[in-house]
Structure 1
C-alpha cells in the first residue's frame, strides 16, 4: 500500500499501486529522497499528520507538517534539530538528513517532513489501560524514574528542555525501555530566553492539564519544569488516576496523592514530591540531583514492603502431616542464611547444603521404618561440615562489614572495594579528612585567600563549604550546564565561574548577586586564570581561543589565537605578565599578556595537553599530556629540560610546592616528584575516580582534591610530615 502526502490530493490512499512512484490522482511523488515510501496514516494532530514509511526494508515514522504557520514551522524545525543532536535509546533517532521539504505539483507551499525511528510499543496511557489501570509498584517506579531522568539529562545537556512531559508522550518498547517522544515543544535554554523569564516576560505557553507546572502555565517555563511534569506523570502511573483527580493543599499547593498509592514507600514518595515542588527553585536543579536522591533513599525503599505486591502473593503451602510436604517461600527462610541478602539478589537456587538446611527446618527428616532391620549410622560428617563453615562465613561477613564501614568513614567510599582499601594503606596517614562525602560529580574547586571558604562546582551547582568544620553553608545554581572552572578574587569579595554553557559569570560572594556575564567564547570554557591584582582574567575554551578580560569593565581586551584545537589548561606568572596555555594540538604556547601576542611555541608532547603549571619563581613550566610523560621546560629560551621518571601516568592537574622543590600531579592518585632528583617518592591514593581539581592551601601545608567520585579530601603534604617527625626527634 502507498499513501500520497499532497494536502490537495483528492484520494490520497485509494487506488495507488505499491509499485507506483507518482500518485495517479495528483501527480505527486510517492518516493522521497530516493528512499522513503509512505505506507499508511498513523495519526492526526495539530498542523500535521504522522505516517508509517518504508525506508528500503526498515519501517520509519514520518511526521508531515501541512500548514505553513510560522510558529508551527519553527517548532517543527526545532524538533528536527533537537532529535538529530541526541543519541540515546530513550529518544527517537533522527538522521542528520531526516528533515526535508517537498513542494507538490501546482503548489507554492512546501510540505515539511521529519523522518525518525519507529518506536514499537504503546504509550504509557495505552499501556496502563491494557492492564486495567493497575498502578505500578515501587520497583517499576524506581526503574522507570531512573530511565526517564537519564533521558532528561541528555536533553538538558544539549541546553533544551521538553516542556510537555506526560504519559501520552512516553512510549514503552517491548524490551521495557522507555522512550520520550514529541519534541515539537522543546525549548532551547539561551541567555536571551532566561533573561526574558527573569525579566517577567511571557513566552509561548504549552499547557497539559494536570502535568504543566504553575510557572509554565504563566508563560515562564524553565528546565526544572520538566521535573514537575515528570513527578505528575508518576502520580498517574502509581495511582492509576489523573493528577487532576487529587486535591491540592490550599496552603502549600502540594498534591495530596499518597493515599492513592499505598504500595509506594514514604522515602520514594518524598522523591516524587520533591520533583513536584510548586516553586521551581525548590525542585532538583538538575537530573543528577534526582539520581542522588534515589541513591540516598534506596535503603529505605528496599526495606519497605509493598502492600500492593503482598496482596497478590500466594500463600505458602502447609506441610502435610506425614512429613513429606515442604514449605516453599519466596526468598528462602525468614532468617537470611549466610550467603543471602535482604536485597534484590536474595532469591537463590538451593545448593546441597542449603537444601539440607531447609529440609531440616520444614520437618523433612528420614526416620527408620518398621521394615528396616539394620541400624543406620548418624550422619556425623554432614553435621560437622554444616557447623564448620558457619564461623568462616560469619568472619567473612564481619570483615566485609568492617571494610565497608572503614571505607566510608575514612575515604567516603560506599560500597568500598577491599583491594582498593589495601592500596590506600601506605598513604592513609597523609589523608587529613574527608571534607565532603556527597559533593556530586566535582569538576572544579576554589579556595578563598584566607583559606576559610571552599567552593565546589558540580554540574550547574556551586557549594560553599566552611573549611573549619566542613559544613556546606549554601548551594547555588549558577549555570545552565557543567561548571568547569572557579576562581575567587584576591580580595575575597567576588566569585568567578565558567561553564560548558559558554559563559563566564562574576558573582558577589557575600550577597550571591550576579554582577555581570562575560560572553564571547563559541563553546565550553575549560580553564580560568586571574592576575595577582584581580584586574585581568584569562579564559580558555573549546573554540581554540584564549581571551584576556578587563574584570572591572567586563569586556575583552585581547583574543589570542594560535592553538588549532581546544585549549585545556592555563598558568599565569606571579606578576601577571606571562601566560602559558596548553591544548589538544599538543603544543604549549607562551604569551605576553599586556601586548596580547605569542612569544613562543613549545612542541614535543605526543598527546593532548591537560595540565600546566608555572614554578613559584616563574622560570619553569611543568606540563602533562594524555598518554605522555610529565615534562619540564624553561620559560626562556623555551627548551625542554627533562622528563620526570615514572611519569607515564594519567595526570590532569599540576602544581608546584610553595618552595618549588616538588611537583604535584593529580590523576586518580596524587603523584609527588622531587625535582632535584627527578624521583617520585610519594603516591597518595584516596579517590576511586580521576581527580578533577587540585589546590594548595594558602599556608602551603595541605592539599585539597575533588573528584567526580563525589568526595572532597584534604591531605597533609608528606614532606611536612617528615620534617615534623625529624624536629620532634
Structure 2
C-alpha cells in the first residue's frame, strides 16, 4: 500500500495522493527536492490475463516513449523512471515517475474562463506548438491516440505540453500489416475527439490530426465537438458559424485536419506547419529603425512578405498636419499566458520590453518585438496591481496586495529590494523623472521611497485616507492625488506640501494621467473624462465615454491623442477638440489598463479576459 511518507527506491518520498481510478493511482513525490508525479498501475485489478498483459504493455510503452523524447511539450522521464514494486499481497505494482507539469489542462483552463472562444492569434500559436510536439512523437514512429483538451497542459511559460502517453502505439510494419488485414487493435475512444478509423481499431498517424482538429473546434467555439451537427452528405462537422472571429484559411485548416478519411488529412506534422505559414497572420512587430534611409533603392532589400512596406510606412511620421493616424486603428497581436485579470502594463523606454502584472500573482516580461515571454516573476503572494519601469530602463517596480513593493533588475529579473515599511496594499507606482525616487499609493497612504536604498523617505499627509490614484508631472515636481470621494489634490512630493485642491468632482475618480508637457491633467470617472489646467485648477473640457467605468487613461506622445479604457472597449480621443477618433473592440471583458509604446506608434491593453492586445494605427 502506497502512503504519504513512504520512501521508494531509496529516492522518491511520497507526499500526497493526486488521483485514483479503477486501475491505478497518481501521487506527488519528492525526488531530492524536485516535485514529481508517480503513476502506479494496479495490474491485478484486470479480470482477464489478456487485459492485464495489454495494460502493462501500454504502461511500459509510455515509460519508454517519454524517456526517449526530449521536448518542452512532453513530460520528462529519466531512464530509470520505470520500476516495479511488490505490494503486501505479492502483486506487482508498475510505477512510473515523471516530471510534474504545474498548471491547468486546456479543459480546466477553458472552464475557468467561462468557455470563451480563444482568439485566432492564440489558436495559431498553440496549433504550431502541438504540431511541433507531434513531429517529435511521429518521428519516433509513434501515435498518441488520445489527444483532447484534458490531455494538454499549459506550462507557466505558456508552452503547451501533451500528456497521457498511455495510449501510445508504435507504428511498425507488423502493425501496419495488421491494419491492412483488418485485424482490430486496442481501441482508445474519447467521445467527440476520436476519429472513425480509430474507433474501429485502426489508428494511424493521421488519427492524431483528427483529434487535434476537434480540440481546436472546442477551443475556438467554447463548445464540445459533439454539440455540433454533421453534414449528412459529407460528414463534415458544422462548427464554423460558432467561430465567426477566425479567418476562412484557419477554418479550412481545421476541417482539413478533421477529414473523414485519413488519406484526406495532412500526412505529416510538417504539412500542418506549412499550412500555418500560409495563413495570413501578423508577423513580429518591427522596432522602428533609428535612421530611415530614404535614398536606398528597394531593389537592394531582400524579398519581403506581402504588406511589409505598408507595415513599415505605418510606423513613419505622417506628412499630413491635419490627419490623426489614430483615427483608425487595428489589432496587431494578442498575447496570452496570464491566468487571471491583467491589471497593469508598462513599456520600457527603448520599446523592446512589455511588462504585465496580473491577479494571478505573476509579473511577465515580454519581447514586444516577437510577443514571446522572456521572464516570469513569481515572488509576490497576492494579486499584482501596478508595474512601473524607471526612466533609464534599468529597474522594474511591482506592487501587490501582499503589501510589498519589489524592485527588480529589468534585464535579468534579479530581485534588488523589497519595500515593506508601514505595510499597506499597493494600488499604484510611479518613478520620478530622475529615477531616484518611487511614489506609491495604497489604501491609506501615499509614500515616497528612495530607489537605491529602499528607504521610506516621507508620507504625504491630507485626504489620503481615501486616496487611490496618483500621477506625477513629467518634471516630478507635482503629484496629483485622486480620492474615492471625488477630491483631486496637487502635492509637492519633495516637501509634502499641499498645493491645490480641485472642486466640481461629483463622483469618484477611477483614473488619472498628465499630458507629456505637464500642462493638462486628465481624470476619468464612471462615464466621463475631465481635462484640467493644473496651474489654475480650472476645468478645460469634459466629454462622456460610451461605457461605464474608466479604468485607465494615457496620453500619446503625439500630444493630441488620449486613450481610455471604457468597459470592454478602448476609446481614442483628440483631447484638444473633444472629438472621439475611434473605438477599439476585441476584449470580451473589461479593459483594465492601456499604455502607448514605441513613441506612440502602438497601444497596448490589458483586460479581465486575461489577454493583452497590441494595437496600431492604420495608415
Same fold per superposition (TM over 0.5): yes
Offset at residue 557 of structure 1 (A): 1.7
Partner of 1:680, secondary structure, is strand
Matched, 1:579 2:361: no
Matched, 1:433 2:332: yes
Structure 1 residue runs of 5 or longer lacking an equivalent are: 1-132, 134-165, 168-207, 218-227, 309-328, 355-385, 412-426, 722-729
Distance 1:347 1:440 in 2: 27
Distance 1:698 1:347 in 2: 46
Distance 2:24 2:387 in 1: 47
Aligned residue in 1 for 2:589: 689
Aligned residue in 2 for 1:481: 382
Verify the 8 A CA contact 2:514 2:521 in the aligned structure 1.
Answer: yes
1:429-487 C-alpha deviation (Å, 9 max, x unpaired): 72352152334332222211111111222322222211222221222213111111111
1:322-367 C-alpha deviation (Å, 9 max, x unpaired): xxxxxxx99899979xxxx998967789x9xx9xxxxxxxxxxxxx
The structure 1 residue matched to 2:537, chosen from 634, 638, 663, is 638
Aligned residue in 2 for 1:469: 370
Offset at residue 564 of structure 1 (A): 5.7
Offset at residue 709 of structure 1 (A): 1.9
Verify the 8 A CA contact 1:652 1:665 in the aligned structure 2.
Answer: yes
Distance 1:286 1:331 in 2: 24
Q: TM-score, normalised by structure 1?
A: 0.48
Verify the 8 A CA contact 2:329 2:615 in the aligned structure 1.
Answer: yes
The structure 2 residue matched to 1:299, chosen from 119, 137, 149, is 149
Partner of 2:474, secondary structure, is coil
Whose Rg is larger?
A: 1
Aligned residue in 1 for 2:143: none
Offset at residue 638 of structure 1 (A): 1.2
Aligned residue in 1 for 2:156: none
Distance 1:714 1:680 in 2: 20
Offset at residue 680 of structure 1 (A): 1.1
Offset at residue 576 of structure 1 (A): 0.3
Distance 1:714 1:683 in 2: 14
Verify the 8 A CA contact 1:629 1:648 in the aligned structure 2.
Answer: no
Distance 2:327 2:339 in 1: 23
Verify the 8 A CA contact 1:645 1:680 in the aligned structure 2.
Answer: no
Verify the 8 A CA contact 2:329 2:584 in the aligned structure 1.
Answer: yes
Offset at residue 256 of structure 1 (A): 3.8
Cα pair distance change 1:287/1:551, threshold 3 Å: farther
Matched, 1:608 2:508: yes
Q: How many residues align?
A: 415
Verify the 8 A CA contact 1:454 1:466 in the aligned structure 2.
Answer: yes
- Whichever structure has more helix as a proportion of its residues is 1
Partner of 1:616, secondary structure, is coil
Aligned residue in 1 for 2:463: 563
Aligned residue in 1 for 2:436: 535
Cα pair distance change 1:489/1:299, threshold 3 Å: same
User: Taking CA–CA contacts closer than 8 Å with sequence separation of 6 or more, which of the two structures ends up with the larger relative contact order?
Assistant: 2
Offset at residue 704 of structure 1 (A): 1.4
Aligned residue in 2 for 1:257: 39
Matched, 1:233 2:233: no
Partner of 2:482, secondary structure, is strand
Cα pair distance change 1:645/1:709, threshold 3 Å: closer
1:129-155 C-alpha deviation (Å, 9 max, x unpaired): xxxx9xxxxxxxxxxxxxxxxxxxxxx
Partner of 2:363, secondary structure, is strand
1:478-528 C-alpha deviation (Å, 9 max, x unpaired): 311111111121222221111110101111223432221111354320101
Aligned residue in 2 for 1:187: none
Structure 2 residue runs of 5 or longer lacking an equivalent are: 44-54, 67-71, 82-98, 113-125, 127-146, 153-161, 168-188, 198-213, 252-279, 283-325
Partner of 2:239, secondary structure, is helix
Aligned residue in 2 for 1:704: 604
Verify the 8 A CA contact 2:386 2:399 in the aligned structure 1.
Answer: yes
Aligned residue in 2 for 1:679: 579
Distance 2:104 2:498 in 1: 42
The structure 2 residue matched to 1:494, chosen from 380, 395, 399, is 395
Verify the 8 A CA contact 1:466 1:472 in the aligned structure 2.
Answer: yes
Aligned residue in 1 for 2:239: 397
Offset at residue 695 of structure 1 (A): 1.4
Cα pair distance change 1:538/1:663, threshold 3 Å: same
Offset at residue 656 of structure 1 (A): 1.6
Verify the 8 A CA contact 2:106 2:149 in the aligned structure 1.
Answer: no
- Whichever structure has more strand as a proportion of its residues is 2
1:605-645 C-alpha deviation (Å, 9 max, x unpaired): 343322101122212211112x3311112112213233114
Verify the 8 A CA contact 1:565 1:585 in the aligned structure 2.
Answer: no
Verify the 8 A CA contact 1:592 1:598 in the aligned structure 2.
Answer: yes
Offset at residue 581 of structure 1 (A): 1.8
Aligned residue in 2 for 1:119: none
Verify the 8 A CA contact 1:234 1:272 in the aligned structure 2.
Answer: no
The structure 2 residue matched to 1:526, chosen from 427, 449, 457, is 427
1:27-55 C-alpha deviation (Å, 9 max, x unpaired): xxxxxxxxxxxxxxxxxxxxxxxxxxxxx
Distance 2:589 2:380 in 1: 24
How well do the aligned residues superpose, as a CA RMSD in angstroms? 5.0
Q: TM-score, normalised by structure 2?
A: 0.56
Distance 1:687 1:545 in 2: 33
Aligned residue in 2 for 1:655: 554
Cα pair distance change 1:235/1:590, threshold 3 Å: same
Partner of 2:18, secondary structure, is helix
Verify the 8 A CA contact 1:704 1:713 in the aligned structure 2.
Answer: yes
Cα pair distance change 1:394/1:499, threshold 3 Å: same
Aligned residue in 2 for 1:444: 344
Q: How does 1:160-559 map to 2 (within 5 A)?
A: 209=5, 232-236=16-20, 243=27, 254-260=36-42, 292=109, 299=149, 301=151, 397-400=239-242, 403-404=245-246, 430-441=329-340, 442-458=342-358, 459-542=360-443, 544-559=444-459
Partner of 1:474, secondary structure, is strand
